[in-house]
Amino acid sequence: MDELLTKENIDYKERAREVAEKYVRPRAAELDQTREYGWDILEALKSYELTGAWIPKEYGGHDAGVLNLCLIVEQLSRACGGVGVAFAVNALGSFPIILGGTEEQKQKYLPHIAKGESLIAFGLSEKASGSDAGSLRTTAIADGDDYVINGHKKWNTNGGVASVFTIYALTNPNKGIRGISPFIVEKDTPGFTVGKREDTLGIRTVSVNELEFDNCRIPSSHLLGDREGGGFKNAMMTLDRARPGVAAQALGLAQGAFEWALRYTSERRQFGQTVMSHQAVQFMLADMATQIEAARQLVYASARLIDSGAKNINKMAAMGKVFATDTAMKVTTDAVQLFGGYGYCNDYPIEKYMRDAKITQIYEGTNQVQRLVIGRALTRELKELTGHLDVTVEHFPDYDPEA
């Protein structure tokens, strides 16, 4: 794949790989057990100038784009999926500001995120509104020069360590999704509390928290953009750009698990020969390698499409996400199988890959929702497709659409 990457791409990939091998892999098991955030890894990412790679240069970033973001996340996730998402979620949280913030808001917040001085989280989901993001109930009611926020948010990755949050709330509850607006909320704002931390199956190094708002008063200048009502569109545009990052996390997990499986099956001997020598195992490994490479091509293609400035990106972003995350779940599960009984024990690193992989099929839009996104895109494209066909059903007298 390196032959298809630019020198800049390879540079980001190699720096991220060095951080992963030197700083992430040695601590992956410990961070999984203790559930501590890898602050020392964040310092390494800062020293290797990887933080804020996706942020425009005028705001302190590298303007490196989504593909380079994916390359970094992939390499980190090869060593630890939790560290991979802890990095990627800063892009998810800052994309709303990049896409919809005022110049003043961008200048105030993005440089600190780019330097790794501030971590940011994304607050959209609620207890009763996960995939159905338009049904959220948190409100932000204008009161003079302020907004008063009441409600709660669920599943906030990085919630326990972030100092800045992008939050979506109803400014006009009677307008449905047209009444949703995006806001910036700082951690120490009165009335805002970082609540319960979830005891998650995987990605345990990164905190996933509830957020609670009880008459949380913020200045009107914290409304993202210059008017109310653009929250749903801002959130959907953000997720389209962030999904390749989740796909890259899944890709890295699949690659990392596959590499462990190759090593183990080439060393473990059964029936007088290495496990890898058995044809059944070779077929499994061949399928794993093929699926990973197919996922890589789709993830990179979706990232390149976004970086090109194309407008219609949601189908490709959804395709990359659904394929890579399904691949990660299958590959990591097969890797556990290849380790046999040892794969089921946490003495070996492989079971963690399977635990970390599962969430990638769920967050930032479940894979069922991704298929819905793809299906709707195909429906929209059908009219254009049929309009360009030179033949119609009249050319086929035996055609019966009811058959």
Burial of 298 (0-12, 13-18, 19+ CB in 10 A): buried
d(CA 383, CA 176): 29
* The two three-digit tokens of residue 344, written as one number: 């089921």
Predicted pLDDT of residue 392: 57
CB atoms within 10 A of CB 267: 10
Predicted pLDDT of residue 393: 55
d(CA 287, CA 310): 33
CB atoms within 10 A of CB 115: 15
* DSSP 8-class letter at 126: B
Taking the CA atoms of residue 147, residue 149, residue 155 and residue 158 in that order, the dihedral angle to the nearest 10 degrees is: 50
Predicted pLDDT of residue 1: 65
* DSSP 8-class letter at 361: G
CB atoms within 10 A of CB 146: 16
The values of phi and psi at residue 270, to 5°, are -145, 140
d(CA 379, CA 347): 49
Predicted pLDDT of residue 384: 77
Query: Of 300, 325, 306, nearest to 3 (Cα)?
Result: 300
Residues 6+ apart with CB under 8 A from 11: none
Q: Annotated catalytic, 18?
A: no
The values of phi and psi at residue 127, to 5°, are -60, -35
Distance of alpha carbon 259 from the chain centroid: 22
Segment (H or E) for 402: none
Predicted pLDDT of residue 385: 76
Residues 6+ apart with CB under 8 A from 349: 28, 29, 260
* DSSP 8-class letter at 345: S
Q: Where are the alpha helices (DSSP H) in 308-402?
A: 314-338, 350-358, 367-388
* The two three-digit tokens of residue 370, written as one number: 């991704």
d(CA 138, CA 369): 22
Largest CA distance in the chain: 79
Provide the angle, in degrees to the nearest 10, between the axes of the packed helices 350-358 and 81-100.
30
Provide the angle, in degrees to the nearest 10, between the axes of the packed helices 65-79 and 231-267.
40
d(CA 100, CA 123): 15
Q: 190-246, pLDDT tens digit by residue? A: 999 999 999 999 999 999 999 999 999 999 999 999 899 999 999 999 999 999 999
- Candidates 364, 381, 394, 402; catalytic one: 364
Contact between 71 and 244 under an 8 Å Cβ cutoff? The reply is no
pLDDT in tens, the chain (403 residues): 678 899 999 999 999 999 999 999 999 999 999 999 999 999 999 999 999 999 999 999 999 999 999 999 999 999 999 999 999 999 999 999 999 999 999 999 999 999 999 999 999 999 999 889 889 999 999 999 999 999 999 999 999 999 999 999 999 999 999 999 999 999 999 999 999 999 999 999 999 999 999 999 999 999 999 899 999 999 999 999 999 999 999 999 999 999 999 999 999 999 999 999 999 999 999 999 999 999 999 999 999 999 999 999 999 999 999 999 999 999 999 999 999 999 999 999 999 999 999 999 999 999 999 999 999 999 988 877 776 655 555 555 665 666 5
Predicted pLDDT of residue 388: 63
Query: Of 308, 316, 296, nearest to 243 (Cα)?
Result: 316
In 3-state terms, the chain is what percent helix, strand and coil (to 5)? 60, 15, 25
Q: What structural domains and CATH numbers belong to the chain?
A: 2-114 (1.10.540.10), 120-227 (2.40.110.10), 232-385 (1.20.140.10)
Segment (H or E) for 236: helix 231-267
d(CA 288, CA 256): 12
Q: Is beta strand 180-186 parallel, antiparallel or unpaired with respect to 164-170?
A: antiparallel
Segment (H or E) for 297: helix 279-307
